[in-house]
Amino acid sequence: MEHEIDIAPGVRLWAEERGDPDAAALLLVMGANASGLAWPDSLVDALARHHRVVRYDHRDTGRSSWSFDDEPYALTDLAADAVGVLDALGVERAHVVGMSVGGMLTQLLLLDHPDRTATATFIGTTPMSGGPTDPPFDLDPDVLAMWATMNEPRDREAELDWRVEHWRLLNGGRLPFDPGEFRRMEERIMAHAGRHDSPNAHARAGQEGFDRGAELAAVTTPALVIDSPADPLAGTASARHLASLLGNARLVTVPGLGHALPEAVVPQLAEVILGHTAPDTAGTSASA
C-alpha cells in the first residue's frame, strides 16, 4: 500500500507499507540522496513476513517533494520526517533499521524519541561525533573523487552510468558486483521519481546537530550494529566504535558486506535483522 504524507508546509513524502498491518512495525530509513526503493524488494518482502514494513522516500529523493532549493534544511530535519511518517501511519512504536546516514538519523531517534523505537539496527553507519576518544575515519579517496562530480549535469544514460559506477565503488570489492542488478534498480528509481537528475540536496544540506555521540551511552533500546567489513565509508572501525558508544548494543559481522545491498547479502541481512527484532530477543540486553 502506498501513501502520500504531508510532512511539512510544501513537503510531501511518498511511503509504502508491506506485510500484516497488525504485525509489529519496522521502519526502513535509507541513506542520504537515496530513494526508499534502494532497499531491495527481496529484503523488504523477507522482513514483511514478520513485520508491517514501512519504507519511504526522504524529501528531495524519489517521489517525495524536491524542495531544498526553495526551502533549505539541515540533515537532522530528516529525523523529524521519520517520526512524521510513523505519526501519519498511526505507528506508535517501531523497530527502526537505518542505512548509512539513515543510521545517523536513527541515532537521533534513539536520543529524542526513545518511546518510538522498539529496537534499532544500523547498517554502514558512521557514529555521531562527540563520543569518548572519537577515532579518525578515513573515507575512500575514489569515492570522494566521485562525489566531487555529483552535481554535474548529465543526461539520463550518463546519470545511470554514474550511479552504477558509484554503487560499484560502494560495494567494496569483496562481494561480486553485478552492474545489471544496480542499473535495473536505478532505472526503476528514475521511473518512480519521474526524473533522472542527480538527487544531491542532502550533500548540500546543513550538517550541524550530529555532535551528540556522548549521549548514546544512556540509550537502553536494544541496538544491533552490523559490521560491513568491506565498506569504504563506514567499515569495521566505525561499526565497533558505534557499538561501543551505544548503551545496549551488540555487533554482528556480515562477511564481505560493503556500503551497498546486493541481492547476495539479502538472506543473511534478513536473518540477522529478524533475529534482533524477534519478540524473545528484542528486549534482552547485550553488549558489544
d(CA 177, CA 232): 15
Res 286 pLDDT > 50: no
Q: Closest Cα partner for 78 from 53, 99, 55, 104?
A: 104
The alpha helices in the chain, defined as continuous H runs, are 41-48, 77-88, 101-112, 141-147, 156-171, 179-193, 201-204, 236-245, 266-277, 279-282
For residue 6, tell me if it sits in a domain: yes
pLDDT of residue 285: 34
Secondary structure letter of residue 234 according to DSSP? S
How confident is the model at residue 134, as a pLDDT? 82
Tell whether 15 is covered by a domain: yes
Question: 124-175: per-residue pLDDT in tens?
Answer: 999 999 888 888 888 899 999 999 999 999 999 999 999 999 999 999 999 9
Phi and psi at residue 135, to the nearest 5°: -80, 160
Domain boundaries, position 249: 2-145+200-282
Give residue 65's pLDDT.
Answer: 98
Tell me the pLDDT tens digit for each residue of 87-125.
Answer: 999 999 999 999 999 999 999 999 999 999 999 999 999
**pLDDT band, very low/low/confident/very high, at 287 (cuts 50, 70, 90):** very low
Is 166 a member of any domain?
no
Share the mean pLDDT of the chain.
Answer: 95
| 287: in domain | no
State residue 262 phi and psi, 5-degree precision: -70, 160
Residue 172 lies in a domain: no
Tell me how many degrees the CA angle 83-88-93 measures, rounded to the nearest 5: 50
pLDDT of residue 283: 45
* pLDDT value at residue 68: 96
User: Measured between alpha carbons, how far is 151 from 201 in angstroms, rounded to an integer?
Assistant: 9
pLDDT at position 137: 82
Residues with a catalytic annotation lie at 100, 231, 259
Residue 199 Rama label (left phi>0; alpha psi -120 to 50; beta): beta
Give me the pLDDT at residue 281, please.
57
Residue 212 lies in a domain: yes
Q: How many domains does the chain have?
A: 1
Cell of 17: 507499507
Local structure of 214: helix, strand or coil: helix
Question: How many whole angstroms separate alpha carbon 245 and alpha carbon 49?
Answer: 32
Quote the pLDDT of residue 279: 81
What cell numbers appear for 118 in the block?
522498539
**Domain-located, residue 272:** yes
Q: Would you say residue 178 lies in a domain?
A: no
Closest to 131 (Cα-Cα) out of 104, 100, 97: 104
The CATH number covering residue 15 comes to: 3.40.50.1820
Calpha distance 77→116 (Å, rounded): 17
How many Cα atoms are found within 13 Å in the side-chain-facing hemisphere of 169?
16
Cell triple for 108 = 537521533
Cβ pair 130, 214 in contact under 8 A: yes
